[in-house]
Amino acid sequence: MKVVNQVLPALLLICASSIISPAPAQVPTTVAAPSQLQLMPIPASVQLQSGRLPITDAFSIVTRGYADDRLRGSIARMTRRLAGRTVITLPFDLAADESSATLVVQCERGGSSVPSLNEDESYSLEVTDKQARLVAPTIVGAMRGLETFLQLVQGDRNGYYLPAVRIQDQPRFAWRGLLIDTGRHYQPPEVLKRNLDAMAAVKLNVFHWHLTEDQGFRVESKKFPKLHLMGSDGLYYTQDQVREIIAYAADRGIRVLPEFDIPGHSTSWLVGYPELGSAPGPFKIERGAGIFEPALDPTRDQTYKFLDAFLGEMAALFPDAYMHIGGDENEGKQWDRNPRIQAFMKEKGIKDNHALQAYFNQQVLKILQKHGKKMIGWEEILHPDLPKDAVIHSWRGPASLAEAAKKGYNGILSAGYYIDLMFPASQHYLADPLPANSALTAEEAKHVMGGEATMWGEWVSPETIDSRIWPRTAAIAERLWSPRTVVDVEDMYRRLTVISRQLEELGLTHERNYPVMLRRLANSENTEPLRTLVSVAEPVKEYHRYQMRPQTMLSPLTGLVDAARPDSDEARRFAAMVEGFLSDAPRYRLNRSDLRESFTSWRDAGTALGPMIDRAPALQEARPLATNLSDVAIAGLEAIEYLSTGNAASSEWRVAQLAKLDEAAKPKAALELVIIPSVRKLVIAAAEPPRSQ
């Protein structure tokens, strides 16, 4: 689902207003993890005890109760990461002696052989100074507990250890997903695998695989080979690769939900099979971004025979109980211009395109039911005639999701979790499928199954996709797992920094590729001035990149906007320093030297970038940003000086500096300097009458 013309503020208010009521808590909750712990997601209940359990080369693990290859594989992966983190040689074979084992893992049963929505993911973990014991009803529950065990590991001068703790944990929502759009930009299997590893590390359990788009058809069909041979530029997943990804995900307790977007977003279908279209064609793969007209013809029996055969083939390939049909952003323009479709609508008493799509959805639902699948689609599929079997995937917000729940539909939320829109983790963190100020009954609230982060693929490559997903998605994972009362943004960022570093153990490139891209852009090993600039810049939000940087799906995604990250740590640190400085009126000593150091660094970087840009044509678009950075820094230094000396700046100075900040705030090269709101506060304060001691 890509809402190109979406008004984003409506998405972002979902944490402030809704009509939904909370589901009753099932276990004790905590507002935040103890400050000495780095857990993410925060468990349902955490109680610190006295003592610590050392991690040494005598480390061993014993299993009790049910154990299978999935559990043994999960234990081996956890042990490998623990060894890498501690630099201790650890045994990878399970031990037999429970009394001397460091960790005892006890499972009651295997759970579903194929991960399912009803999987019991609960576990308990108790750590004493003698031993850790993890108890779970299922293998997947044990997997979740093993991730928590690994996150508990700490180190000091005496070595590595786990603090003594008692944890009772279970997820708040059963559906906690990440959508990766591989239709617009193909992502190789190794990219998907490392992201599946990261999903497991933060307890996400649904990989929503968006496989078809106007720009590409990414899965092999043996029944209709022209789908992938003509609609993919040769970039598609073979069925063997699909099975490999499904098995890889299952070993980590993750469901794989395929999406085949119909009737719109279907150009790539029609390249090889134009007879399915609502216009005569011919069709070619779309190279741009946006909403396009081609749509399947919902009035032909041939269309449904084709879908029956194709979806049947895919149903046999993908074992999950659900199949996503998309159903979004079909504007029906081709339907309007097709006399035969108009005549069909008149004959059937179908009053508009929404009703025609509802007719289409009903036929597709029957096909999916025939093949043993449940249908899920974006909100556009909701219609009075839609059977209650269908699941609503909401991009509009929790109020809309609540309305569907009141009508008896199960649903999941993605509004507020569109990570491609480049908003900070804090904004996603406060979006909740079931906000506190609500009106749904407990029974109605059960229809809200959870949510998904959405990584739409217009502007991501294998080199950059990790930096757009992580670490922000870990904050979303916490929102979907942890109690609603866990809302401390500052503490979230404290833990997110640690989790981001730990995710690198899994091969993620969200940090690794950053300096690589900067060196390439600068054509030099010396990237310090460029790094300083990019540290306080973020890609433009929402869909402004479309307008500011016209590109196609064939364009290289290697520019400065691609290197920049969506959640500036430096800007957040700077904003906190400014707040502290201004709170120290009238002395203005708190953080003064640190602020001066930052401003001086930015001023000097802006100057140094001139010669660097001269030598690097790829950086030409950054020249205005470099000038703006220097202007902002000089304004900040002057404001600090006025405030520190107790002399108010003139109104002329204030007007001139605010004008400079207004100019610097305008995005350039599809980037925006995110330090400007804080500098503006300093400039305004500097022109106010001095406060008395």
Determine the pLDDT at residue 30: 42
pLDDT at 588 over 80: yes
Report whether pLDDT(174) > 80: yes
* pLDDT band, residue 482 (cuts 50/70/90): very high
Exposed e or buried b per residue across 356-395, where buried means at least 16 C-beta atoms within 10 angstroms of its C-beta: bbbbbbbebbebbeeeebbbbbbbbbbeeebeeebbbbbb
Q: What is the identity of the amino acid at 386? A: L
* Confidence at 35, pLDDT banded by 50, 70, 90: confident
Q: What is the average per-residue pLDDT within 630-653?
A: 97
Model confidence at 693: pLDDT above 80? no
pLDDT at position 692, please? Answer: 61
Residue 677 has pLDDT above 50, yes or no: yes
CA dihedral 315, 319, 325, 326 (to 10 degrees): -150
SS3 597: helix
Question: What is the predicted pLDDT for the residue at 92?
Answer: 87
Q: Quote the tokens at residue 99.
A: 């009394």
Is 570 a catalytic site residue?
A: no
| Mean pLDDT over each residue of the chain, to the nearest integer | 93
pLDDT at 2: 53
Model pLDDT for residues 88-146, shown as the tens digit of each residue: 999 989 999 999 999 999 999 998 888 999 999 999 999 999 999 999 999 999 999 99
Give the Cα separation of 327 and 363 in Å (integer).
13
Catalytic residue among 213, 286, 293, 329: 329
Residue 364 is encoded by which pair of tokens? 């597709």
Q: Across the strands, what pairs with 155?
A: 160
485-518 pLDDT per residue, tens: 999 999 999 999 999 999 999 999 999 999 999 9
Q: What is the pLDDT of residue 25?
A: 36
pLDDT at 347: 97
Q: Six-digit token pair at 148?
A: 């928590």
The dihedral sign for the CA sequence 203, 205, 211, 215 = negative
What is the separation, in whole angstroms, between the first and last Cα of the chain?
57
For the chain, count helices (H), then strands (E).
26, 19
Report the percent of the chain where pLDDT is more than 90: 90
**Coil, helix or strand at residue 407:** coil
Residue 649 pLDDT greater than 50, yes or no = yes
559, 520 contact by CB (below 8 A): no
Lowest mean pLDDT, pick from 29-33, 147-151, 604-608: 29-33
pLDDT value, residue 36:
84
Q: How confident is the model at residue 307 (pLDDT cuts 50, 70, 90)?
A: very high
Q: Give the pLDDT of residue 113.
A: 82
Can you give the pLDDT at residue 121?
98
Cα(620)–Cα(616) distance, integer angstroms: 7
State mean pLDDT over 215-224.
98
Give the model's pLDDT for residue 243: 98
Would you say residue 576 has pLDDT above 60?
yes
In this prediction, residues 251-279 reach a mean pLDDT of: 98
Residue type, 58: A
Q: Which amino acid is at 406?
A: K
Q: Each residue of 432-451: pLDDT tens digit? A: 999 998 899 999 999 999 99
Q: Which domains does the chain have, with CATH numbers?
A: 8-21+173-506 (3.20.20.80), 45-169 (3.30.379.10), 513-686 (no CATH)
Please state, in angstroms and rounded to a whole number, the distance separating the CA atoms of residues 216 and 156: 51
Least confident piece of the model among 33-37, 315-319, 389-393: 33-37
Q: Which residue has the higher pLDDT, 691 or 2?
A: 691
Instruction: Tell if the pTM clears 0.85, that is, is over it.
Output: yes
